[in-house]
Homo-oligomer: A and B are copies of this chain.
């Protein structure tokens, strides 16, 4: 089974747990919310976070693949939940996501709030259900995922910074974009029985790179290419690497960060393959810049 197939199967199985009939009532499930869970999670984007997680687990031996699968799907559910809530009218008020109407437009705003809530809850359930295979690893993965999702240092905290008059930029970026990449590398390592701490830097650096790449895409691409509204950072006055460094400066910064990411990979059996994967992402992340698409250059 290829990596993509494995990850899609894990996510799809996880969503089915949230849609399944419940043993101790008449079995009725609210159909629109059940449908919205699937709508919000498939078809997915690049599945970058679960791919990194599973790649790290494989590089570390992947001795309990059911744990890596649970972790990968849990992490993607959290990511999808954050997209659904970020798209809400009170945040980005986005009409499209991954080329289709956002959940609050396709279903309703109440169902979008509930979809995000349900996906967050489901992520932790999926992990806890694997506890019997390795209770310590599962508990550590739940704590790691929670810390990178909620307060004080997860993606919720990252969004929370946008409601502050004074933003701590380093805390903001690490929480907003870095957090789930740190969760990816650390949960991948934990799933395979390794220490989490040495994997922090790889996740943090991939997160930084992703932030710079996202800044470039937001500044350079139109809504059709992005599959979501463009120019959102400018519109919402959010800090952006392109504003700070210019387009060419931001691209150089992206390359430097990814070089640092590769050299931070801890020694492990699959080290070379993992470095190759980061290189592949580096190419995919770096935008192709034609002269006329560079504003002011």
User: Which residues of A does B touch, CB under 8 Å?
Assistant: 18-22, 24-34, 37, 81, 85, 88, 90-91, 107-111, 113-114, 116-118, 120-122, 124-125, 127-129, 131-132, 135-136, 138-139, 142-143, 146-147, 149-154, 156-157, 159-164, 168, 170-171, 174-175, 200
The contact sample of 23 A-B pairs, CB cut-off 8 A, is A18-B152, A22-B147, A24-B200, A26-B168, A26-B170, A28-B171, A30-B161, A32-B163, A33-B157, A33-B160, A85-B113, A91-B110, A111-B163, A117-B156, A118-B150, A118-B156, A120-B150, A121-B149, A122-B150, A125-B150, A131-B142, A135-B135, A135-B136
Q: Do the beta carbons of A143 and B129 come within 8 Å of each other? A: yes
The copy count of this chain in the complex is 2
Q: Do the beta carbons of B26 and A151 come within 8 Å of each other? A: no
- The interface residues of chain A, by DSSP majority, are classed as helix
Q: Do the beta carbons of A152 and B22 come within 8 Å of each other? A: yes
Cβ contacts under 8 Å, A175 to chain B: 25
Contact of A113 among B34, B88, B108, B125 (CB under 8 A): B88
Q: Do the beta carbons of A152 and B29 come within 8 Å of each other? A: yes
Q: Which B-chain residue is minimally distant from A119 (CB atoms)?
A: B150
Cβ contacts under 8 Å, A34 to chain B: 151-152, 160
Q: Which B-chain residue is minimally distant from A147 (CB atoms)?
A: B125
Q: Do the beta carbons of A124 and B124 come within 8 Å of each other? A: yes
Q: Do the beta carbons of A125 and B109 come within 8 Å of each other? A: no
- How far does the alpha carbon of A107 sit from the alpha carbon of B90 in the complex, in Å? 13
